[in-house]
A and B are shown apart, each in its own frame.
Chain A
Amino acid sequence: MTKYDASELAEIIEMLSFQHLDIRAVTMGINIMGALRYDNLAEGVHEIVKERAEELRDAVEEVSSRLGVQIVTKRVAVTPISMLLDARAGDLEEAFKLGISVAEALDSAAKDLAVDYMGGYAAFVESGYSLGDRGVVKSIPEALSSTERITAMVNAASTLAGINMDAVYEMGEVVKRTADLTEGRGCTRLGVFANAPEGTPFVPGAYHGRGEEDPVINVAVSGPGVIENVVRSLQDADLRTLHDAMKRAAFKITRLGELVGREVAKRLGVRFGSVDLSLAPSPAVGDSVADVLRAMGVEEPGAPGSVLALAILTDAVKKGGAMATSSVGGLSGAFIPVSEDLGMAEAVRRGALTLSSLEAMAAVCSTGLDMIVLPGDVKEDVIAAIIGDVMALGIVLDKSLGVRLIPVPGAREGDEVDFGGLLGKAPVMSVGRFSSEALVVRGGIVPPTVSRLMKG
């Protein structure tokens, strides 16, 4: 065995036992196009997923037990369902019904396999809709209300195509309707994305991409507590020194993801895809990105300086992570969800963190506006305008960004909403008094920026 100092051993033990370092998710990507060979599409989807992911649970549990490392969730990501509907449905009504039946089949497969989430109820509409896309988007509220583990995503913008504002407006309606049918909860499983990358192990962004191996294992790490601890131990350090220390910690966190991903893939005899470097927080004390910002010197997230601190953190995570694995995937930034991060939710309660400050922070975090609870009476056009803001950041900055907004029927600004478990709780945030309805109802396509021209 390689020689270790007692301090090297103690550091890792501390991270795993006291700083909430764990593997947030092992996600298996599966191509389900083979379901088209079956007469009954839903049955085909169910069969294929169950067959490919049959050993996922055992493999994850064995690796967790061998290494002594906690793996919090097991997930599956499938081919965007819109592609299946395109191949099978003759009209919108059929696409809608088929979509729901596939969602229910996937949900039942998830339960049989003890998989926590099943991603891929997805459509890519950045420059326009196919019939399958329309079927998916229209059926999202019903699909989410009749299932428990399905996650849905719609890619409404890309650097290459621009922003499909018709889709953005429609997603305002879809978010609202999903909230009405599910008392808000369904919206925790729904995201709107710009430049959604393949191989994201996190939901709701997870789907199995065309360029990916089938099946494939992607891994999501956690670890804000580890970074916070490092920052707290360097209270007098200048920012370059601090950045360096954060980078080193991010390296170690990502290595753990790489190890677990390789081990699970080896056990299943499938290819290891990538590690998403993003530090996923949880609603536990000491597992908060907000607390990293506080430790860096920001009095409350949302205060001037928050964008600066988050930019430093994101860069350190990316650089440390990139050294730790040659297989970087997914969103790979810093997550700044509100309800899923105890410290973020607290910053909202204290009046420091607002929707505007979160939008500014989204510009430097690579993940977007996440788990934001809105008043039940928020209008569709306001939701669409918020989505539009993030889509614009995505195409102008040429990066992946997502939006997950949760209007809660009957809830008013300041009310506390508790989703339970990893989803956490948070106060309902203000959306302000002013609207851009006249802008978003214009619809059409926002042309891509000059970044598009740089690509040829």
Chain B
Amino acid sequence: MGEMIVVTVVGADKPGIVAAISSVLAEAKANIVDISMTVLRGFFSMIMVVDISEAVSDLSELRERLEERGKEVGVRVMVLHEDVFRYMQKV
């Protein structure tokens, strides 16, 4: 089983958000394994589970690039390691 991160994207909806974020992941060879996306009254939110075990850049570098790209398209990006969820949600 690979090393997973959870990428969350929130902000006002507009064209190109998914493409912007997923292209950064693709460049880093990070694989999206699960995705959930909603747009509620113009508010965009997306949660992605991403496998980074084959990724070519390390996590802090990837986080920086995602946050930067997020800023360019006007959304907030948050990157958390899967361990956080495993520890907090599972007994």
* Residue from B51, B80, B88, B91 within 8 A of A68 (CB atoms): B80
CB distance from A326 to the nearest CB of B (A): 13
Tell me how many residues of A have a C-beta within 8 Å of chain B. 24
Q: Specify which chain B residues have a CB less than 8 angstroms from the CB of A258 in the assembled complex.
A: 87
Q: Specify which chain A residues have a CB less than 8 angstroms from the CB of B33 in the assembled complex.
A: 1
Q: Specify which chain B residues have a CB less than 8 angstroms from the CB of A236 in the assembled complex.
A: none
Do A10 and B47 touch (CB < 8 A)? yes
With A4-B85, A13-B78, A17-B78 known to touch, is A65 a contact of B59 (CB < 8 Å)?
A: yes
Q: Specify which chain B residues have a CB less than 8 angstroms from the CB of A9 in the assembled complex.
A: 6, 8, 47, 85
The reply to whether the CB of B90 lies closer than 8 angstroms to some CB of chain A is yes
Interface residues on B, range: 20 to 34
Interface mask (B64-91 → A, CB under 8 Å = 1, otherwise 0) = 0000000000000011111111111111
The chain A residue sitting closest to B36, CB to CB, is: A6
The reply to whether the CB of B1 lies closer than 8 angstroms to some CB of chain A is yes
Chain A binding surface, main DSSP class? helix
Q: Across the A-B interface, give the 3 residue pairs with the lowest CB-CB distance, nearest first.
A: A68-B80, A259-B87, A65-B60
Q: Specify which chain A residues have a CB less than 8 angstroms from the CB of B81 in the assembled complex.
A: 66-68
Do A68 and B85 touch (CB < 8 A)? no
Q: Specify which chain A residues have a CB less than 8 angstroms from the CB of B87 in the assembled complex.
A: 255-256, 258-259
The reply to whether the CB of A69 lies closer than 8 angstroms to some CB of chain B is yes
- How far does the alpha carbon of A69 sit from the alpha carbon of B80 in the complex, in Å? 7
The chain B residue sitting closest to A17, CB to CB, is: B78
Do B89 and A67 touch (CB < 8 A)? no
The chain A residue sitting closest to B38, CB to CB, is: A6
The reply to whether the CB of B49 lies closer than 8 angstroms to some CB of chain A is yes
Do A12 and B36 touch (CB < 8 A)? no
With A1-B49, A6-B47, A9-B47 known to touch, is A16 a contact of B86 (CB < 8 Å)?
A: no
Q: Specify which chain B residues have a CB less than 8 angstroms from the CB of A12 in the assembled complex.
A: 80, 84-85, 88-89
Do A252 and B63 touch (CB < 8 A)? no
Do B88 and A65 touch (CB < 8 A)? no
The chain B residue sitting closest to A323, CB to CB, is: B91
The reply to whether the CB of A238 lies closer than 8 angstroms to some CB of chain B is no
Do A68 and B89 touch (CB < 8 A)? no
The reply to whether the CB of B32 lies closer than 8 angstroms to some CB of chain A is no
Do A1 and B4 touch (CB < 8 A)? yes
Interface-centre pick from B4, B79, B89 (highest chain A CB count, 10 A) = B89
With A6-B47, A12-B80, A259-B83 known to touch, is A66 a contact of B59 (CB < 8 Å)?
A: yes
The reply to whether the CB of A8 lies closer than 8 angstroms to some CB of chain B is yes
- How far does the alpha carbon of A398 sit from the alpha carbon of B36 in the complex, in Å? 51
With A9-B47, A65-B60, A65-B63 known to touch, is A256 a contact of B84 (CB < 8 Å)?
A: yes
New contact pairs (4) apart from A9-B85, A65-B60, CB-CB < 8 Å? A67-B80, A68-B5, A256-B84, A256-B87
Q: Specify which chain A residues have a CB less than 8 angstroms from the CB of B84 in the assembled complex.
A: 12, 16, 67-69, 256, 259
CB distance from A86 to the nearest CB of B (A): 42
CB contact list, A225-264 vs B, under 8 A = 252, 255-256, 258-259, 263
What are 6 inter-chain pairs, A to B, with CB distance below 8 A? A10-B47, A12-B85, A16-B78, A16-B84, A252-B88, A252-B89
Q: Specify which chain A residues have a CB less than 8 angstroms from the CB of B5 in the assembled complex.
A: 68
Q: Specify which chain B residues have a CB less than 8 angstroms from the CB of A4 in the assembled complex.
A: 49, 85, 89
With A6-B47, A67-B83 known to touch, is A256 a contact of B78 (CB < 8 Å)?
A: no
- How far does the alpha carbon of A252 sit from the alpha carbon of B47 in the complex, in Å? 20
Do A8 and B79 touch (CB < 8 A)? no
